[in-house]
Amino acid sequence: MSSRSIRIGLCGFGVVGQGVFDHLNKKRKALGALLGADMSVTRIAVREKGKKRDVAVDEGIITSDPISIATDPEIDIVCELMGGTNTAREVTVAALKAGKIVVTANKALLCDHGKELLSIAQQYGGHVLFEASVAGGIPVIKAIREGLVINDFSSIYGILNGTCNYILTRMANEGLSYQEILVEAKELGYAEADESLDVDGIDAAHKAVVLAYLAHGKWVDFKNVRLQGIKEVSQEDILFAKDNGYAVKLIAVVNRERGGKALHVSVLPTLVERRSSLGSVDGVFNAVSIHGDVVGETVYIGPGAGRHATASAVISDIVDAAKLLIFGGPEGRFPFLDSAPKNGGGIDIARPDEIHSRYYVRLVVMDQPGVMAEIASILASHKVSLASVTQKEVPEKAERASLIITTHLTTEEAILRAVADLEGLTILEEKPFCMPIGTIS
């Protein structure tokens, strides 16, 4: 029989919370043998008592007060699985001030309050573990924090939102529009009723901020993340990608610019080569490509969301928390261990004129003489050099043409200014659509 008991409190009992509870119970004996300690969920905080759930739970351990779990001296590990940032922050702060280990899957909480929470953890002798906050079942945080600890990271590229990848994959495979697939994705449970967090790129951007901290020790302000979702991606973009050996993916980028002194973080629809490490990752899967100076490129692919994948990552952190409690010193006290010890204080945010890429631009214009000359003149005025131009008639719009332009290498500043000027042309029928052409290996 295990010699020590470790008591876990779950704050939040939705899809992920129930998955954690279920798998911890099923694996209780195996975990006890592995750790020499009996791990059990002894308290659960829910929004609605009496609600029907997928797992059987003793009503005696259920409360509607998550703070009472965070401050309960009998609880060793607090799992924050509520989502949102207000109550979640209050619970996390209360638990850390009580010197506890907090396990969270909440990337928005970390993005908005990560620096504060780690400071409180250090002050009061607690820890924050957050493997499940990025890419669900893929152990990418452990890879950066532990397996690749000797590396400096020049770039990280990621498909970090399964809903977006699912929609873009079906657009490519079935020729359907974004809107048609979104309706079906909601019916199948792949997209939330309010899909904006996913399709506007916000969810992926929260995760990119966490990755930037882990890799470089710097918390990037969310407003400094260049962000664009997938709503404006059309079948024309998908077809161009197919015809030219690319795939359209929503790609999160964490890159070092200016010789490693500036950090560029973005989440944008991107043309990536189909044969590249991320170009062939389809459906609801996530993928992360990490480039380290010692190891080279390592790639991690797997389910990025869902009860089982996220529960797997949460339980991984619970096991690490248990090891800290068991082996961390007298009475379970242990020194603060920052999950990203690198000092990012000297790293700036990269300016748009320091970010280089090739770009894809789609325009719908009036089909008349002089149009291309006018467009080329604007691009040239911003020193954006054309690599190719494709023109097609727009069948449903008489005397309208669709122009697809690709550029040679230029700066983000130059392309944004050029596109802004193009948007002001009277010959334009729709807002321009622009995305980078990725150079992922």
Residues annotated as catalytic are 207
Tabulate helix, strand, coil % of the chain (nearest 5).
Answer: 40, 25, 35
Query: In 126-201, where do the E strands start and end?
Result: 127-129, 153-159
**Helix/strand/coil for 229:** coil
Q: Token pair for residue 122?
A: 């250090």
Q: Distance of alpha carbon 251 from its chain centroid, rounded?
A: 9
For the CA atoms of the chain, what is the radius of gyration?
24
Q: Token pair for residue 417?
A: 């200014």
Report CA-CA distances (Å) from 86 to 96, 189, 193, 203, 250. Answer: 16, 26, 21, 17, 28
| Contacting residues for 405 by C-beta, under 8 A, at least 6 apart | 360, 361, 362, 363, 375, 379, 386, 388, 389, 390
Beta bridge partners of 299: 289
State how far the Cα of 53 lies from the Cα of 31, in Å rounded to an integer: 25
State how far the Cα of 231 lies from the Cα of 110, in Å rounded to an integer: 26
For the four alpha carbons of 384, 388, 393 and 397, in that order, the dihedral sign comes to negative
Q: Token pair for residue 30?
A: 């195996």
Cα dihedral 225/230/236/239 (nearest 10): 90
End-to-end CA distance of the chain: 51
